[in-house]
Structure 1
Amino acid sequence: MATPRTRDAILSAYFGSMAASIWKLLPSIDVEASRQNYTFMDMDVFNDLIRQNPERAQAIYWREMTLRIHLACCASLLRHADWLDTLLLAIEHENFFGTLAACRGLLESAADTFYSLGAVPKTLAPNLALIRARIKEKPTDTIFLSKELEDALIHFSHGRKLRRNEAAEPVHAAKQMREYLDSLKRGGVSDVHDYYSELCSIAHPSAETVSHHVHQRQDLVGFQRHSHFQRSASRCP
């Protein structure tokens, strides 16, 4: 099979017929996101307000929560766009290592997003009427917040490898990549671990990174100059 040459053809070959049209939306999202600024109330001020005026505090809480969701979704899309651009450049230059490294980065980005943000719609949907009522500051004698949603968004934006003795909430600690990949597997990507292992075998020094350059025929061993790019094209979904 010939290597696809145009970006539309590459995206369709790797990710399906819808990929090219979706990819074309990313630049406009980038432009609009760059114009968006977010402001959030200081936590001490919020804690005082929720005691004094719970209806007003909850309206602010849920407005800010929707802003945080918007921020996370835009950041996720822009991160995906960067990895897609990297992947396309590697393919266009028929760079075997670069293609698989970009596939790995894109897969990790997708797994992180799915782990952290995948449950957001399921949290919002059953509570939509209640959230709207809180935003409209309708009288209530109950406090409705979502620690689960807060933690998911915090983990997405602040999850990292913590330094030894670093003081941080547990939700700030990044998970092992296997846990992020497990979430994709539960979501229906059954062979994600095998695929990721194959990508890592090229991204890390290994026998495969040597055999890419060296070939053996019977008792003769030598270097091969031809590209293994066709091989890499079959590894990215």
Structure 2
Amino acid sequence: MTTIRDLFTKAGEIYPPIIQSLLNDSYGVKYTFDEIEDFKKSAPLDRNLIYWSEILYRAHWAATTNLVRHDRWFNGCIQHSLNSPNYIMFCSALRGLLESVTDTYHSLAAIPLTLAESCDYIDPALQRKVTEKLGTSEELENALIHFQFAKKHNKKSTAPLSHHALQATKYIIEMDEPSLQLQNLYTELCQVVHPAYESTSWLIKSESNRYWIQPPHDIAFIRDICERYSTAIERLQINSANISIFIYKTINEFQLPTLHNKAANEINMSTSPLQSKIDTAFKSRRGINLKD
């Protein structure tokens, strides 16, 4: 009997309940965004508070919507493999998951560390303290806006660059590495999903010059692609979930309790190099002894 671990590695067992606990702590959080004219009329300390609060709102929004999108695509993979095997629909769902995760990686992978490195701006802003550091972060703004608003535009569009989605392959190349073969996986999935040769060739059996159409044995083809790309499938799950986890955990470090995610605090990420970098950034910018 084929199991979740057979197709989606150990990550397929570990992450779904973690994702649900994170989402349960995130649903219903309210975000408030000022109109630009109202923002301009605000006092400097209020503008600083509004600006950085809205950055944290967008980061929380991105972390949550990423997990919802991930959960829906992954559920599609489960439904069309283990529950009701359908090779074409499985390839469609896995392709959607791949595109989703690589989009998340492009826009959000740097958000947790960048937030931590900006704490010397964010801390006084949230406390409405008078400070010389009334800074902004174009890097955070563009990344978060790109994740939330980017889409395809026609050639005459005057939308800002951050609103323009890249081709899916560019996101994939950015996250790919030799051990993953994400581009190869994407090519295979597209050829099955699109009306190409591979969308029907898996149904054909042959012997010498004789050919016949066999009853679909979907699960065998699903297992084959999952086995050949097990490292990629595992990494997709890890990267997607961990990016949101780190965003939540970083937001939890700031004095904006309406955004705090208790479930994220219960996840131990201490062995991750990124967690070490985040901790160091907070301590160094908050003037905390790094030996503490």
Q: TM-score, with normalisation over the residues of structure 1?
A: 0.87
Structure 2 matches for 1:35-184, cutoff 5 A? 35-49=28-42, 53-91=43-81, 92-184=83-175
- Quote the offset at 1:151 in angstroms: 0.5
Q: Which has the higher contact order (CA 8 A, sep 6+)?
A: 2
Instruction: Report what 2:199 is aligned to.
Output: 209
Distance across 2 between alignment mates of 1:93 and 1:220: 31
Deviation at 1:3, TM superposition (A): 2.3
Contact 1:95 1:229 in 2 (8 A): yes
Does structure 2 retain, via aligned residues, the 8 Å contact 1:181–1:192? yes
Contact between 1:72 and 1:156, CA under 8 Å: does it hold in 2?
yes
CA shift for structure 1 position 25: 3.3
Does the Cα contact within 8 Å between 2:121 and 2:134 map onto a contact in 1?
Answer: no
Tell me, yes or no, if the aligned pair for 1:79 and 1:109 is still in contact at 8 Å. yes
Unaligned 5+ residue runs, structure 2?
Answer: 227-232, 234-292
Aligned partners of 2:102 and 2:61: how far apart in 1? Answer: 18
Q: In the alignment, is residue 3 of structure 1 matched against residue 2 of structure 2?
A: yes
Q: Secondary structure at the match of 1:134?
A: helix
Instruction: Tell me, yes or no, if the aligned pair for 2:203 and 2:213 is still in contact at 8 Å.
Output: yes
| Deviation per residue, 1:23-56 (Å, 9 max, x gap) | 023344444443222111111111222xxx3222
Q: Give % identity.
A: 29
Q: How many residues align?
A: 226
More deviation, 200-209/72-81: 200-209
Alpha-carbon deviation of 1:146? 0.5
Structure 1 residue 142: Cα displacement: 4.0
Q: Tell me if 1:23 matches 2:22.
A: no
Conserved in 2, the CA contact under 8 Å of 1:115 and 1:180?
Answer: yes
Quick one: which amino acid aligns to residue 40 of structure 1? F
2-structure distance, mates of 1:104, 1:128 = 37
Q: Take 2:180 and 2:94, find their aligned partners in 1: how far apart are those partners?
A: 17
**Which letter does structure 2 place at the counterpart of 1:204?**
H
Match of 2:33, SS state, is coil
Structure 1, unmatched stretches of 5+, are 5-9
- Which amino acid in 2 is paired with 1:200? C
Q: CA–CA distance in 2 between the matches of 1:15 and 1:37?
A: 34
**2:110 alignment partner AA:** A
